[in-house]
Structure 1
Amino acid sequence: MSSGTNVLAEIGAERTRQDAQWGGAAHDDALPIDEFVRLITDYAGWARVKAREGSRVEARQRLIQVAALAVAAVESLDRRGAPRAEAAPPAAAQPGEGLRWE
Protein backbone atom coordinates (compact mmCIF):
# COMPACT_ATOMS: atom_id res chain seq x y z
CA MET A 1 0.00 0.00 0.00
CA SER A 2 2.79 2.30 -0.90
CA SER A 3 0.45 4.70 -2.67
CA GLY A 4 -1.32 5.45 0.60
CA THR A 5 -4.55 3.74 -0.43
CA ASN A 6 -6.15 0.96 1.55
CA VAL A 7 -7.18 -1.61 -1.03
CA LEU A 8 -9.02 -3.79 1.47
CA ALA A 9 -11.10 -0.81 2.59
CA GLU A 10 -11.94 -0.10 -1.06
CA ILE A 11 -13.06 -3.70 -1.52
CA GLY A 12 -15.19 -3.40 1.61
CA ALA A 13 -16.76 -0.20 0.31
CA GLU A 14 -17.50 -1.90 -3.01
CA ARG A 15 -19.15 -4.80 -1.14
CA THR A 16 -21.33 -2.28 0.71
CA ARG A 17 -22.28 -0.68 -2.62
CA GLN A 18 -23.08 -4.06 -4.16
CA ASP A 19 -25.20 -5.06 -1.15
CA ALA A 20 -27.15 -1.80 -1.34
CA GLN A 21 -27.75 -2.27 -5.06
CA TRP A 22 -28.60 -5.97 -5.10
CA GLY A 23 -30.02 -6.76 -1.67
CA GLY A 24 -27.18 -8.32 0.26
CA ALA A 25 -26.99 -11.86 1.57
CA ALA A 26 -30.52 -12.83 0.53
CA HIS A 27 -29.71 -11.99 -3.09
CA ASP A 28 -26.24 -13.53 -2.98
CA ASP A 29 -27.43 -16.79 -1.48
CA ALA A 30 -30.05 -17.16 -4.21
CA LEU A 31 -27.31 -17.11 -6.89
CA PRO A 32 -25.64 -20.33 -7.93
CA ILE A 33 -21.90 -20.18 -7.30
CA ASP A 34 -21.23 -20.64 -11.02
CA GLU A 35 -23.06 -17.34 -11.58
CA PHE A 36 -20.57 -15.62 -9.26
CA VAL A 37 -17.77 -17.19 -11.27
CA ARG A 38 -19.32 -15.92 -14.51
CA LEU A 39 -19.61 -12.39 -13.10
CA ILE A 40 -16.05 -12.46 -11.80
CA THR A 41 -14.82 -13.66 -15.19
CA ASP A 42 -16.79 -10.94 -17.01
CA TYR A 43 -15.49 -8.15 -14.79
CA ALA A 44 -11.93 -9.49 -15.00
CA GLY A 45 -12.30 -9.47 -18.79
CA TRP A 46 -13.34 -5.84 -18.68
CA ALA A 47 -10.30 -5.09 -16.51
CA ARG A 48 -8.10 -6.72 -19.14
CA VAL A 49 -9.72 -4.68 -21.93
CA LYS A 50 -9.34 -1.43 -20.00
CA ALA A 51 -5.70 -2.22 -19.20
CA ARG A 52 -4.99 -2.90 -22.88
CA GLU A 53 -6.62 0.43 -23.72
CA GLY A 54 -4.27 2.12 -21.27
CA SER A 55 -6.99 3.02 -18.77
CA ARG A 56 -5.33 1.92 -15.55
CA VAL A 57 -7.95 3.73 -13.44
CA GLU A 58 -10.83 1.82 -15.04
CA ALA A 59 -8.88 -1.46 -15.00
CA ARG A 60 -8.22 -0.98 -11.29
CA GLN A 61 -11.88 -0.17 -10.63
CA ARG A 62 -12.96 -3.40 -12.34
CA LEU A 63 -10.42 -5.39 -10.33
CA ILE A 64 -11.81 -3.92 -7.09
CA GLN A 65 -15.24 -5.12 -8.28
CA VAL A 66 -13.77 -8.57 -9.05
CA ALA A 67 -12.32 -8.78 -5.55
CA ALA A 68 -15.62 -7.69 -3.98
CA LEU A 69 -17.54 -10.26 -6.01
CA ALA A 70 -15.11 -12.96 -4.92
CA VAL A 71 -15.63 -11.94 -1.29
CA ALA A 72 -19.40 -12.11 -1.80
CA ALA A 73 -19.08 -15.59 -3.29
CA VAL A 74 -16.95 -16.85 -0.40
CA GLU A 75 -19.32 -15.31 2.17
CA SER A 76 -22.24 -17.00 0.42
CA LEU A 77 -20.44 -20.35 0.39
CA ASP A 78 -19.71 -19.94 4.11
CA ARG A 79 -23.38 -19.24 4.85
CA ARG A 80 -24.27 -22.37 2.87
CA GLY A 81 -21.98 -24.39 5.11
CA ALA A 82 -19.21 -25.03 2.61
CA PRO A 83 -16.16 -26.62 4.19
CA ARG A 84 -13.19 -24.29 4.55
CA ALA A 85 -9.69 -25.06 3.38
CA GLU A 86 -7.06 -25.16 6.07
CA ALA A 87 -4.78 -22.17 5.68
CA ALA A 88 -1.11 -22.55 6.45
CA PRO A 89 0.48 -19.74 8.43
CA PRO A 90 2.10 -17.20 6.07
CA ALA A 91 5.55 -17.96 7.48
CA ALA A 92 5.16 -21.63 6.51
CA ALA A 93 4.21 -20.90 2.92
CA GLN A 94 6.80 -21.93 0.35
CA PRO A 95 6.98 -20.92 -3.32
CA GLY A 96 4.71 -23.14 -5.33
CA GLU A 97 2.63 -24.18 -2.31
CA GLY A 98 -0.95 -23.21 -1.65
CA LEU A 99 -3.98 -23.79 -3.83
CA ARG A 100 -3.44 -26.24 -6.62
CA TRP A 101 -4.74 -25.15 -10.01
CA GLU A 102 -6.46 -27.82 -12.00
Structure 2
Amino acid sequence: LKQVAKEAAGPLSIERYSPSEREINHVLSTVTMTFNQPMIAVSSLNEVMNVEDLDISLTPKVEGRWRWTGTKTVQFEAKHRLPYSTEYTLKVNKEHCVSAIGGKYI
Protein backbone atom coordinates (compact mmCIF):
# COMPACT_ATOMS: atom_id res chain seq x y z
CA LEU A 1 0.00 0.00 0.00
CA LYS A 2 2.83 2.40 0.70
CA GLN A 3 4.11 2.04 -2.88
CA VAL A 4 0.63 2.69 -4.34
CA ALA A 5 0.17 5.74 -2.11
CA LYS A 6 3.57 7.05 -3.16
CA GLU A 7 2.71 6.63 -6.86
CA ALA A 8 -0.66 8.34 -6.42
CA ALA A 9 0.93 11.36 -4.75
CA GLY A 10 1.96 13.03 -8.00
CA PRO A 11 0.12 13.81 -11.23
CA LEU A 12 -0.17 11.24 -13.99
CA SER A 13 2.56 11.55 -16.61
CA ILE A 14 4.45 9.60 -19.25
CA GLU A 15 7.77 8.37 -17.83
CA ARG A 16 9.29 7.16 -21.08
CA TYR A 17 8.48 6.23 -24.63
CA SER A 18 10.06 4.29 -27.44
CA PRO A 19 11.29 4.77 -30.07
CA SER A 20 13.41 7.58 -28.72
CA GLU A 21 15.30 10.02 -30.93
CA ARG A 22 18.32 7.69 -30.67
CA GLU A 23 16.33 4.80 -32.14
CA ILE A 24 14.96 6.49 -35.24
CA ASN A 25 17.37 4.72 -37.61
CA HIS A 26 16.32 1.20 -36.56
CA VAL A 27 13.68 -0.86 -38.33
CA LEU A 28 10.64 -0.49 -36.09
CA SER A 29 7.25 -2.10 -35.79
CA THR A 30 6.35 -1.11 -32.21
CA VAL A 31 5.70 2.08 -30.27
CA THR A 32 5.78 1.84 -26.46
CA MET A 33 4.66 4.29 -23.78
CA THR A 34 5.12 3.91 -20.00
CA PHE A 35 3.12 5.91 -17.46
CA ASN A 36 4.27 6.78 -13.94
CA GLN A 37 1.22 5.09 -12.35
CA PRO A 38 -0.57 1.76 -12.92
CA MET A 39 -3.18 2.19 -15.65
CA ILE A 40 -4.83 -1.26 -15.52
CA ALA A 41 -5.28 -4.19 -13.18
CA VAL A 42 -2.76 -7.03 -13.43
CA SER A 43 -5.61 -9.29 -14.63
CA SER A 44 -5.94 -7.17 -17.81
CA LEU A 45 -2.36 -7.74 -19.02
CA ASN A 46 -1.89 -8.86 -22.64
CA GLU A 47 -5.47 -8.01 -23.61
CA VAL A 48 -5.80 -6.63 -27.13
CA MET A 49 -7.55 -3.26 -27.16
CA ASN A 50 -8.99 -0.80 -29.62
CA VAL A 51 -7.22 2.55 -29.92
CA GLU A 52 -10.58 4.17 -29.16
CA ASP A 53 -10.64 2.45 -25.74
CA LEU A 54 -7.31 4.05 -24.83
CA ASP A 55 -8.09 7.48 -26.29
CA ILE A 56 -4.62 7.52 -27.86
CA SER A 57 -4.01 8.55 -31.45
CA LEU A 58 -1.09 7.70 -33.71
CA THR A 59 -0.76 9.93 -36.77
CA PRO A 60 -0.47 9.06 -39.59
CA LYS A 61 -2.70 6.05 -38.96
CA VAL A 62 -0.97 2.68 -38.98
CA GLU A 63 -2.64 -0.72 -39.14
CA GLY A 64 -1.94 -2.64 -35.94
CA ARG A 65 -3.06 -3.24 -32.36
CA TRP A 66 -2.52 -1.88 -28.84
CA ARG A 67 -1.88 -4.10 -25.82
CA TRP A 68 -0.72 -3.67 -22.25
CA THR A 69 2.68 -5.26 -21.55
CA GLY A 70 2.65 -4.21 -17.88
CA THR A 71 0.31 -2.32 -15.60
CA LYS A 72 2.00 0.94 -16.64
CA THR A 73 3.16 0.16 -20.19
CA VAL A 74 1.10 0.09 -23.38
CA GLN A 75 2.54 -0.97 -26.73
CA PHE A 76 1.36 -0.49 -30.30
CA GLU A 77 2.30 -3.36 -32.59
CA ALA A 78 2.17 -2.37 -36.25
CA LYS A 79 1.01 -5.04 -38.68
CA HIS A 80 3.97 -4.14 -40.90
CA ARG A 81 7.27 -2.37 -40.34
CA LEU A 82 6.85 1.38 -39.92
CA PRO A 83 7.93 3.17 -43.12
CA TYR A 84 11.22 5.06 -43.20
CA SER A 85 11.23 8.87 -43.56
CA THR A 86 7.88 9.21 -41.83
CA GLU A 87 7.28 11.37 -38.76
CA TYR A 88 4.68 9.99 -36.36
CA THR A 89 2.77 11.82 -33.64
CA LEU A 90 1.41 9.99 -30.60
CA LYS A 91 -1.24 11.89 -28.62
CA VAL A 92 -2.94 10.97 -25.35
CA ASN A 93 -6.25 12.67 -24.57
CA LYS A 94 -5.45 13.99 -21.09
CA GLU A 95 -9.10 14.65 -20.23
CA HIS A 96 -9.99 10.95 -20.52
CA CYS A 97 -6.76 9.44 -19.22
CA VAL A 98 -7.05 8.27 -15.60
CA SER A 99 -4.78 5.79 -13.85
CA ALA A 100 -6.02 2.67 -12.06
CA ILE A 101 -5.41 4.47 -8.76
CA GLY A 102 -7.23 7.65 -9.76
CA GLY A 103 -4.36 9.87 -10.88
CA LYS A 104 -5.08 12.42 -13.60
CA TYR A 105 -3.00 14.68 -15.79
CA ILE A 106 -2.77 18.25 -14.58
TM-score normalised per structure 1? 0.28
Question: Which has a greater percent of strand?
Answer: 2
Higher helix share: 1
User: What TM-score do the two structures reach when normalised by structure 2?
Assistant: 0.27
